[in-house]
Amino acid sequence: MYLNVAEIESAITSLDGAYPGGTEVIDLPHATHEGRTTRLLRVGTRQSDEVPAILLLGGMHAREWVPPDALISLAADLLEAHDAGTGLGYGSSTFTAAQVAQVLEEVSLFFFPCVNPDGRAFSQTTSAMWRKNRRSAPAGSTGPSCVGVDLNRNFDFVWDHKAKFAPDADVHTSDKPCDPQVYRGPAAASEPETRNVVWALDSHPRIRWMVDVHSAVPVILHNWGSDQNQSSTPTDNFRNPDLDAVRGRPDDGIGEFMTEPDLNIAVELAERMNDAARAVRGVDYGVEPAFGLYPTSGTSDDYAYSRHLTDPAHAKVFGYTIECGDTFQPVFSEAEEVIGEVSAALLALALNAPEVTDG
Ligand SMILES: [Zn+2]
């Protein structure tokens, strides 16, 4: 059975209680529109400022039921295996006891398993295909679809798509509150759930990688999503207003700049995640830049990576989106297989990220 919102919170509390040497619970500052408080579960035996860290997000889209369960499951597996001194296996993807210890001792994992609890509760009780959060409909707008914001269009990165993208760019976002899927919100980072993710990054400068787990394609996406990647023209980037009229078109000779070393790191880590996921039962997720699906605006993965370019005081954070499985709410026996794929991918990232990024 899928976890409900209360069960996700109680799992965080129980894991923290059962493994006090390997966990820390951190309250997030912004309550949701319905008044829910969410928390981070940090897993790792070192102090959070001693080792590089990975931020793991789930549940941003309400109807994607697998990711929050996957993150709770991975946290529990890691803590249990480390405590018992054993390895972990998901199908044919296996990790030794030494690798489990390496993850716990050489990185910190910040689990934010359910970013959008209001949406998940609504999806699990009332409207299964709900995607957005539960911000009240604006005055004068009526109808159930006028509630809510798509949190993965709300981040402060080329958020204002009408100003930042070519008129014919196929960017999937909307400024219409009654759009049932992709309403971007009244302002960038207007939503408490979005601001909690921003706070997690602001408050933990050792975070160097972020994975936002969604469903369902499957695919592993790396930066950028705003336009095709290019490594030849540094001035062609998201801060350049000259590109506002042309951003987001494929094959027009203009793309979003990423240095070649950074692009190599982004791809290399995504490939290692894909290898580990595929080893579970043979499903090849594949690796693509996020633009490979369609141009995106206001997404978490590009926001995370853009931060160090917007403000050099911020750490560089490689941003990923894993689109797991091939349906939003599979029967739970299938969900468990997908949870194995996500777990294996994230363990591969945790094992490889420090060395690939700095070496
Ligand atoms: Zn999603």
Span 238-268, pLDDT tens digits: 999 999 999 999 999 999 999 999 999 999 9
Question: Mean pLDDT score of the chain, rounded to an integer?
Answer: 97
Q: Report how far ligand 1's centroid is from the alpha carbon of 50 (Å).
A: 32
Q: Report how far ligand 1's centroid is from the alpha carbon of 236 (Å).
A: 28
Domains of the chain by residue range: 5-358
Q: Report how far ligand 1's centroid is from the alpha carbon of 18 (Å).
A: 31
Q: Is the pLDDT of residue 346 over 90?
A: yes
Mean pLDDT, residues 113-138: 98
Q: Report how far ligand 1's centroid is from the alpha carbon of 182 (Å).
A: 10
Q: Report how far ligand 1's centroid is from the alpha carbon of 214 (Å).
A: 4
Span 33-78, pLDDT tens digits: 999 999 999 999 999 899 999 999 999 999 999 999 999 999 999 9
Q: Report how far ligand 1's centroid is from the alpha carbon of 180 (Å).
A: 14
The pLDDT assigned to 359 comes to 67
Q: Report how far ligand 1's centroid is from the alpha carbon of 63 (Å).
A: 8
Residues of the chain above pLDDT 70, percent: 100
Q: Report how far ligand 1's centroid is from the alpha carbon of 22 (Å).
A: 30
Span 95-108, pLDDT tens digits: 999 999 999 999 99
- Give residue 351's pLDDT band: very low, low, confident or very high (50, 70, 90): very high
- Give residue 342's pLDDT band: very low, low, confident or very high (50, 70, 90): very high
CA 292 to chain centre: 17
The pLDDT assigned to 357 comes to 95
- Give residue 293's pLDDT band: very low, low, confident or very high (50, 70, 90): confident
Q: Report how far ligand 1's centroid is from the alpha carbon of 215 (Å).
A: 6
Q: Report how far ligand 1's centroid is from the alpha carbon of 331 (Å).
A: 18
Span 198-234, pLDDT tens digits: 999 999 999 999 999 999 999 999 999 999 999 999 9
Residues of the chain above pLDDT 90, percent: 98
Q: Is the pLDDT of residue 358 over 90?
A: no
Q: Report how far ligand 1's centroid is from the alpha carbon of 311 (Å).
A: 27
- 5-358: CATH superfamily: Zn peptidases (3.40.630.10)
